[in-house]
Amino acid sequence: MDNMDNTFTVYLVRHGSTLLNSYNRMQGWIDSDLTEEGIEQAQQAADKLSDISFDRAFSSDLGRAVNTRNLITNQLQSNLKEAADLPEFWEVNFGFFEGLNSDDIWAGIAAPYGKHSQKDLMDIGGQEEVRNAMNKADPSHVAETYDQVIARLKAAFQQLRDHCEPGENILVISHGTLIRTMADYLGVDTTDNYPINGGVSQLSIDDDQAVFESYNQ
């Protein structure tokens, strides 16, 4: 059977803005509530997706993703076969740095390289350098490495393949750094292009591969 026959479409959305986002805090495995702006962003994402008839809707089980999923599906009034949490779509784990000021943390991580920011580290070696530099700088060494994130992403794609059928339209709510790392891994240039809250990316997934059709729209 041709692989095209097994393709389903994923609309991948970053959750709406949260309290910690508004304070420029590192928010990975910790969680905070959607702000009023975040609720509006979820509603705007639903507007972008209003022409799509969704078969299933998934999110990480972090509250900000679940709430975004519920806001979107309620607005779209989709007749879903399934709505569920998939923990594999959690945000990247930032370890010791969770909840701390993002600019300050990245300045500290970049300093041993003679650099000043996450972007500087991206310029050296892309997302792989960024993730591994954070793990190295984390005194607990709990922050996920690039290889750990990619292994989790592969498991996430397999979860989708196990749940979804060919031709279906799937809504997935996830998180900024995970989406960016996914795009980077699959060949999208994410330089100076971090997923916006409520931003939509589209992927085609079959038995063998996942392809970004659009990113961060």
What's the whole-number mean pLDDT along residues 105-116? Answer: 97
What pLDDT sits at residue 5? 81
pLDDT at 1 over 50: no
What pLDDT sits at residue 57? 98
- CATH architecture under which domain 8-93+144-214 falls: 3-Layer(aba) Sandwich (3.40)
What pLDDT sits at residue 30? 98
Instruction: Give 201's strand partners.
Output: 12
Query: Which residue among the candidates 15, 128, 168, 175 is catalytic per the annotation?
Result: 15
Per-residue pLDDT tens digits for 171-193? 999 999 999 999 999 999 998 99
d(CA 36, CA 171) in angstroms, rounded, equals 22
d(CA 107, CA 117) in angstroms, rounded, equals 5
Q: What sign does the dihedral 78-80-86-89 (CA atoms) show? A: negative
Per-residue pLDDT tens digits for 120-146? 999 999 999 999 999 999 999 999 999
Q: Is 129 a catalytic residue?
A: no
Which residues does the annotation place in the binding site?
14-21, 64
Domain boundaries for CATH 3.40.50.1240 within the chain: 8-93+144-214
Q: What's the chain's average pLDDT?
A: 96
Which residues does the annotation place in the binding site for substrate?
14-21, 64
Q: Is 91 a catalytic residue?
A: yes
Per-residue pLDDT tens digits for 188-208? 999 899 999 999 999 999 999
Query: Which residue among the candidates 40, 82, 91, 98 is catalytic per the annotation?
Result: 91
pLDDT at 150 over 70: yes
pLDDT at 3 over 80: no
Query: Is 0.85 surpassed by the pTM of this model?
Result: yes
